[in-house]
Amino acid sequence: MTNKTPKAFDFGEEPVPSPESIDRPVAPKAFDFGDAEVSSPAPQPAVPALDATPPKKLSFDDMPDAPAASVPPKAAPSALFDSEDHPAVRDALATVRSDYPVLFAHSEQRFAAMFRRVLPVKLSLVTDWAEAPLMEQAALLQPVTGLVRKFSEMGVPALLEDALESGKAPTGVFGKLLRRTTSPAQYKPKLIASRAQLQQLMADSEVATRNLDESAKTLTLHWVALAVVSELVGGALDATLLDVLQQRRALIQQAVRQAELSMLQMGQVRQQAAELIGQVSSFLTVTLPALEMAQTQSGS
């Protein structure tokens, strides 16, 4: 192998650039906006000079009142009968509101329902008016009557009187000869049972009276409805219908009166029962222990 000198790379005969053709850095030119006129900036408002007066202290006394919030007024509720189609119903409700304001305030819905049923007035409607409440009240009167009878049959006043007499010392010869052999302590079981019966009677009578009172109020509404109907259309009714209307009103009024009398009687019974409960409790807790102590001391 012979050692040969390597040849240089041959790129051909490229022209060597002259010094004048070498690009020199070009200075940047300003932006050219054409011929548009450059408007001068608008004059700014002059800033007012600061007041040289010293600042005031904060004060909440002179603050203006806050404007009251405007609350739209609530619309007044319209009367129920404003939406009724039948003019007779509207007239009847207006009459109740005028003549019976208390009942109307508490039972407006019920009156409206009643007048829708009874108006226009017909014989079949009047003859059957308030029949269900009348029958209900008749059934509610029975418990009240039974409680009054039960109270009379208990005989608590007589039993309590005998218990008190047994603790008294006999007077005179005949008193000693006819002295009862029953001691006050022997009345204790009967009196305890009587007190329990009286307390149960108080509870039962409260329920019976409340139910009867509600029934009487319902009948009163029915009576008022018929009274208003008679006032509004009484002159336009025939003699038969007018007579039946009056009879039905009288019947309902009698039933209401009967309920009021029964509740009054039941109230008197409840008062007597409450007094007897107190007397029996007093005998069992105070009188009887004192009598037993006295007998023990006399026997010793």
pLDDT tens digits, 256-288: 999 999 999 999 999 999 999 999 999 999 988
Average pLDDT, stretch 114-140?
A: 93
The CATH number assigned to the domain holding 251 equals 1.20.1050
Q: Is the pLDDT of residue 43 over 90?
A: no
On average, the pLDDT of the chain sits at 78
The answer to whether the CB of 235 falls within 8 A of the CB of 177 is no
Q: Is the pLDDT of residue 173 over 70?
A: no
Q: What pLDDT score was predicted for residue 76?
A: 42
Between 168 and 14, the higher pLDDT residue: 168
140 and 111 together in one domain: no
**221 in any annotated domain:** yes
Q: What pLDDT score was predicted for residue 65?
A: 52
**273 in any annotated domain:** yes
**222 in any annotated domain:** yes
The contacts of residue 156 (CB under 8 Å, 6+ apart) are 194, 198, 276, 280
Q: Is the pLDDT of residue 105 over 70?
A: yes
293 and 155 together in one domain: yes
**240 in any annotated domain:** yes
144 and 254 together in one domain: yes
The pTM for the full model equals: 0.65
108 and 247 together in one domain: no
The percent of residues above 70 in pLDDT, for the chain, comes to: 65
102 and 172 together in one domain: no
Q: What pLDDT score was predicted for residue 191?
A: 94
Q: Which range in 126-130, 172-176, 235-239 is most confidently predicted, on average pLDDT?
A: 126-130
**179 in any annotated domain:** yes
Please report which residue ranges of 119-238 form alpha helices under DSSP H: 123-127, 131-154, 156-166, 172-177, 188-233
The answer to whether the CB of 256 falls within 8 A of the CB of 134 is no
**28 in any annotated domain:** no
Identity of the amino acid at 46: A
Q: Is the pLDDT of residue 230 over 50?
A: yes
CA dist 213 and 284 (Å) reads 36
219 and 288 together in one domain: yes
Closest CA to 191 of 280, 269, 275: 280
Average pLDDT, stretch 47-66?
A: 49
Give me the count of residues in the chain. Answer: 300
Q: Is the pLDDT of residue 30 over 70?
A: no
143 and 281 together in one domain: yes
**9 in any annotated domain:** no
**74 in any annotated domain:** no
Between 266 and 300, the higher pLDDT residue: 266
280 and 168 together in one domain: yes
Average pLDDT, stretch 51-60?
A: 49
Q: Is the pLDDT of residue 25 over 90?
A: no
102 and 249 together in one domain: no
Q: Is the pLDDT of residue 71 over 70?
A: no
Domain hosting residue 94, numbered range: 82-120
The answer to whether the CB of 151 falls within 8 A of the CB of 265 is no
Q: What pLDDT score was predicted for residue 97?
A: 95
Q: Is the pLDDT of residue 183 over 70?
A: yes
112 and 215 together in one domain: no
Number of domains in the chain: 2
144 and 283 together in one domain: yes
Range with the poorest average pLDDT among 55-64, 103-112, 186-195, 200-209: 55-64
CA dist 36 and 271 (Å) reads 113
Between 41 and 213, the higher pLDDT residue: 213
Q: What pLDDT score was predicted for residue 37?
A: 46
